Amino acid sequence: MGANEEIVREAAGASAFEVERVRRDFPILERPMNGQPLVYLDTAASAQKPRAVLDEMTRFMSEDYANTHRGVYALSQRSTALYDAAREKVARFIHAGDAREIVFVRNATEGINLVASSYGRHFLERGDEVLITHMEHHANIVPWQLLRQEKGITLRVAPITDDGELDMDAFERMLTDRVKFVSVVHVSNALGTVNPVKEIVRLAHARGIPVLVDGSQAALHMPVDVRDLDADFYVFSGHKVYGPTGIGVVFAKLPHLEAMPPYQGGGLMILSVTFEKTEFSPPPQKFEAGTPNIVGAIGLGAAIDYVSSLGPAEILAHESALLAYGTELLREIPGLRLIGTAREKSSILAFVMDGMDPQEIGVALGKSGIAVRVGHHCTQPLMDRLGVTSTVRASIGLYNTRQELDALAACLRRMR
């Protein structure tokens, strides 16, 4: 939507998204929930896994598994090659210039903590300001608060409008000489707002300020090109992009990784160790201490292969059409109020209903086989800003259909 409209039109004109065929790739969608067909509308929390990912992880553990970068025997070398190939796949997926700019972590949360702990501790000083926004996930708030306690930095928060859009005029005014780092979400997990991150990066870089982008809700919904965005850091989680849990990605420009100290110490991230000193490996190994999540990386590589085979632009077109359809459906329900109505949105339908507790709504939907998320969505400051304690969040994935949104709307109407 908005800046993505051209991509949507091109993809729609190129080929129809065969959602029924896609749905057959996800075994869990064949099982019922509470005796009803499963309508999975919680992809923002964690996406379901296609058979291609499940099969590749099982095949790897059955046929190729061994520890990486340590064995001289054929099985270990094969495992190492597959692990390294997964890193190359991630680099191509987000258009990184070099696979060495890809660091594997557990998830996006650990990725932000890595940057805050390594870059922040090394380069930020007392009185320096870190600028975030009012729509951030707790994972992009708490690490900077911990750094504030340790280093005495100042955390500044750019405001948002009642519609859930970033106030860009206020953001630009807050980019003073005291700001030494910017950390912003690409797509809000609670509102679906798509932030103008390319413009945010441009404004920050004009003042020499590096930028981290939390891409947890963007990487699965739209094409991401970190070189075009010019982001210094970009993080996302594997489990949200149809891969397994326990694997995540930090993209960082190579000069940053070379200048940053290690995040953790241990095996693999060293060149040599004596009791007097340690020499560290170059990036990315410098930031990957110990035995990595080999199976997770293989699964993430398979997920990227799967998403790439469908086409990120085609996925965006399909999901954008569903979002527009679902928005109109919910607007017609008496007493329902959408939370987050930014002009540029992706994948999220968050709402409250007059006289009904969101928890009550979520339970009732679950009994009808409809899986949604209820709560503050790890964005309590955002909920406070919008005057709600929690919302019901229906989030769209590439396997969802209009019929499923019809089922959601029909169940909500029955509650009224």
- Give catalytic residues, as residue numbers: 378
CB 102 within 8 Å of CB 91: yes
Q: Where is 407: in which H helix or E strand?
A: helix 402-415
CB 110 within 8 Å of CB 248: yes
CB 339 within 8 Å of CB 352: yes
Q: What phi and psi, each to the nearest 5 degrees, are found at residue 256? A: -65, -50
Q: Give residues with Cβ within 8 angstroms of 326, minimum separation 6.
A: 349, 394, 396, 405, 408, 409
Q: How many C-alpha atoms does 61 have within 13 Å on its Cβ side?
A: 11
CB 133 within 8 Å of CB 195: yes
Burial class of residue 86, CB neighbours in 10 A (0-12, 13-18, 19+): buried
CB 260 within 8 Å of CB 114: no
Spatial distance between the Cα atoms of 278 and 212, rounded to a whole number of angstroms: 29
CB 312 within 8 Å of CB 7: no
Q: Where is 305: in which H helix or E strand?
A: helix 294-310
CB 136 within 8 Å of CB 128: no
